[in-house]
A and B are shown apart, each in its own frame.
Chain A
Amino acid sequence: MERLILFVFQNRAFFTFLVLELFCAWLIVENNAYQGSKFFNSSNGVVATMNAFSQSVRDYFMLSEVNRTLAEENALLKKKVTQQRGQLFPPQSVITDSSFVNQYDFVSAKVVNNHVDMMKNFITIDKGRDAGVEAGMAVISPLGVVGKVKLVSEHYGVVTSILHVDVMVSGVLKRTEHFGTIRWDGVNPDLVDFKYIPPHVHPVVGDTVNTSGYNAIFPDGVMIGVIDQVELKKDALFYDIKVRLSQDFRKLSFVTIVKNHRHVEQDSLEQVIQKLER
């Protein structure tokens, strides 16, 4: 025993090295899990405040871009409002169901930290628990899908970006209404893979890909991007499709968090079915 202790003491540098590395490896693995580590992340107050300061400097260089997007979105919304007005007041056919109208709530947030060059990218936003944001909510921007809230602190939140190699989003080919899965391959932050589209479908370059609304997180019909490359290898079961994201993630500056009031309901219903099937 004494010799063992002596041995450990003599090699204390090596053993400290081993312990610290194992601790770090545990942290890395823990962080990869869905909920992630609670403490050492950028929703921490001090870190987030400093990131917010750094982002406020960067914002000045993006002002014109942000203005343009906002103006475009305004125009689009105005168009939609006029269209809806036409539909809402046809003679006596309106059914006003409050649960239908208020399925989604939207909270606007500012991006305080953003990465696109890692394999697993996260975005920090300046809305947290006090604004009603919870883990698992969808995050979109005026131009397209952004990601999913991973964890929240009191005033800040961390969002798992679509540019994260483990994130999968259900997408639908708008023209033909075929479903597939969107997943990033970790290389180019402009392009994501659109998987599991069978060969009898004929996607063409320029087709729009939207969210499908099948996973109860994203509302359906939020734009993801436009098909950039289509390839069907010989004897392959599915197409290799690259989709160009409609939101340039390097220019992300304001996002919208989507609260689905019926998320829990839909999820619990689907789980009941899954249990029955088993």
Chain B
Amino acid sequence: MSRLSILQIISFFIYLLYQVLILQNVVLFHTAFCFLYIAYLLLLPVETNPLTLMGIGFIMGLAVDMFYDSVGLHAFACIMIMYLRNYWLNNLTPQGGYDSGDSPSLSLNGLQWFTVYAAPLVLIHHAALFFAEAGGFSMFWFTLWKIITSTLFTLLVILIAQFLFPSRRLR
């Protein structure tokens, strides 16, 4: 096993534990949730193949679900963004393309690019999560409000985490 994948496995557990031990208790005004663990999924190397991505998303989602007692919800949302991720990345290819081992992070292409990359995926994840949780569209506006506030909160925390721990290029 290469050094890279060992680091990936370690950071998988760091993100997971941070989510379930600390961020589980952080909910602002009963509406804004923070799901920082999806940053791990967003920052997986660019050339990871979609099947692996969805597999990792599924495991991560299910692990988070066990703590939230919401079997399948997080897994559902994670698989969705993992499927869409590579198509979205291809659309956003910077000039000169990606190098092998690149992680689509803040340090790769700057703040603006990263926000454009992460925001829609976070939004889709939260939309899938909260609508599936509400079991439909019966409380549409309240759910939408939850989605918007949570997206902003999660995105902000992801950006702060990126500034605090800038990922060096791992080769």
Contacts and interface: CB of A to CB of B under 8 A. Distances in A.
Contact of A17 (B54, B75, B135): B54
SS of B interface (majority): helix
Interface in B113-151: 132-135, 139, 142
Interface residues of B, number: 34
A40 B25 contact: no
Interface string B25-56: 10100110100000000000000001100100
Given A17-B83, A20-B79, A186 B134 contact: yes
A30 B142 contact: no
Interface string A29-44: 0111000110011101
A125 B20 CA distance: 17
Given A28-B73, A42-B67, A54 B50 contact: no
Given A21-B79, A119-B135, A50 B69 contact: no
Contact of B71 (A31, A113, A189): A31
A37 B73 CA distance: 13
A16 interface: yes
Contacts of A75: none
Given A116-B30, A117-B27, A32 B66 contact: no
Contacts of A188: 30
Contacts of B83: 13-14, 17
A233 B25 CA distance: 38
A174 interface: no
Contacts of B134: 119, 186
Given A117-B27, A119-B133, A186-B134, A17 B79 contact: yes
A25 B72 contact: yes
B70 interface: yes
Nearest to A51: B67
A20 B60 CA distance: 13
Contacts of A20: 54, 58, 75, 79
Interface in B1-44: 20-21, 24-25, 27, 30-31, 33
B76 interface: yes
Given A20-B79, A188-B30, A30 B133 contact: no
Given A20-B54, A50-B20, A119-B133, A158 B73 contact: no
A70 interface: no
Interface residues of A, number: 43
A113 B76 CA distance: 23
A16 B51 contact: yes
A187 B29 CA distance: 11
Given A12-B51, A13-B51, A17-B79, A28 B132 contact: yes
A28 B72 contact: yes
Contacts of A36: 71
Contacts of A51: 20, 67
Contact of B70 (A13, A21, A120): A120
B80 interface: yes
B62 interface: yes
A65 B23 CA distance: 23
B76 A115 contact: no
A40 B65 CA distance: 8
Contacts of A53: 21
A25 B131 CA distance: 12
A88 B67 CA distance: 48
Given A187-B142, A189-B30, A40 B71 contact: yes
Contact of A117 (B30, B58, B66, B67): B30
Contacts of A54: 20-21, 24-25
11 contacts: A17-B54, A24-B61, A24-B75, A24-B76, A27-B71, A28-B71, A30-B72, A31-B71, A47-B67, A113-B67, A187-B142
Which 6 pairs of residues, A with B, have the shortest CB-CB distance?
Answer: A27-B72, A24-B76, A122-B69, A13-B50, A28-B72, A31-B71
Interface of B: 20-21, 24-25, 27, 30-31, 33, 50-51, 54, 58, 61-62, 65-73, 75-76, 79-80, 83, 132-135, 139, 142
